[in-house]
């Protein structure tokens, strides 16, 4: 299977790369940190194709995407993990705009390129990692929670659009996970990364349309001061 993971140099994306590359799949990875991309290639050069890119730079991403498709020939599974989130209680405008450039502008570019490629082929699976933060607006990170709400609804639209195309569109909605994205004081229910990654892998294998992970978050509908 040929796989592309966008946002693969840390956290969930890195764990998914470890799983799929060690299982013998050809995995292309895109991330912002060149040293981490180099390290991943060094750890498994036989199964890893790496590109350094900030998805907010759509021209660079588009070139990398085209190269990956040209080298691998086709893609069967595309996972979009890329995103940023900063606590911004002072509502610094540049911080808010930076989040939107990545989580909305750059993210849409990734998602649409991935979806169109799979739809043209008539098969494959597109997986988007969103966040429960999209359901819980927070005053300390307005653009983050708003951008995740945007992602959730965009994927719902693509799930409707994908009917009868042969493409599976999966949304993974994590709660707080023990990664660099979990920020703030008094965090609760911060789940181990390995446990969350295992749940995501099972959901992908079963071609589920949606997974809120872990299960306890599915029973929660209270405002949170933090995000995942």
Contact yes or no for 54/82 (Cβ under 8 A):
no
Assess whether pLDDT exceeds 80 at residue 142: yes
Q: Check if the beta carbon of residue 50 is closer than 8 Å to that of residue 34.
A: no
Strands 77-80 and 2-6: parallel
Question: pLDDT-based confidence at 223, cuts 50/70/90?
Answer: very low
Q: Is the pLDDT of residue 167 over 60?
A: yes
What pTM did the predictor assign?
Answer: 0.89
For 70-105, write each residue's pLDDT tens digit: 999 999 999 999 999 888 999 999 999 999 999 999
């Amino acid at each position: 299977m040929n796989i592309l993971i966008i946002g693969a140099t840390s956290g969930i994306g890195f764990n998914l790369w470890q799983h799929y590359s060690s299982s013998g799949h050809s995995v292309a990875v895109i991330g912002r940190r060149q040293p981490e991309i180099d390290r991943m290639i060094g750890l498994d050069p036989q199964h890893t194709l790496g590109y350094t890119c900030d998805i907010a730079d759509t021209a660079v991403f588009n070139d990398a995407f085209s190269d990956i498709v040209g080298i691998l020939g086709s893609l069967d599974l595309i996972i979009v993990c890329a995103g940023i989130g900063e606590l911004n209680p002072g509502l610094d405008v540049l911080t808010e705009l930076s989040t939107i450039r990545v989580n909305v502008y750059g993210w849409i570019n990734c998602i649409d390129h991935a979806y169109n490629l799979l739809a043209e082929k008539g098969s494959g699976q597109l997986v988007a990692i969103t966040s429960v933060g999209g359901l819980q607006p927070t005053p300390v990170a307005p653009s983050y929670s708003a951008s995740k709400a945007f992602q959730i609804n965009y994927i719902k639209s693509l799930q409707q659009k994908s009917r009868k195309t042969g493409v599976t569109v999966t949304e993974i909605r994590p709660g707080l996970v023990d990664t660099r994205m979990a920020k703030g004081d008094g965090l609760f229910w911060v789940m181990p990364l390995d446990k969350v990654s295992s749940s995501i892998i099972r959901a992908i294998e079963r071609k589920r349309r949606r997974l809120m992970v872990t299960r306890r978050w599915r029973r929660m509908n209270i405002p949170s001061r933090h995000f995942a």
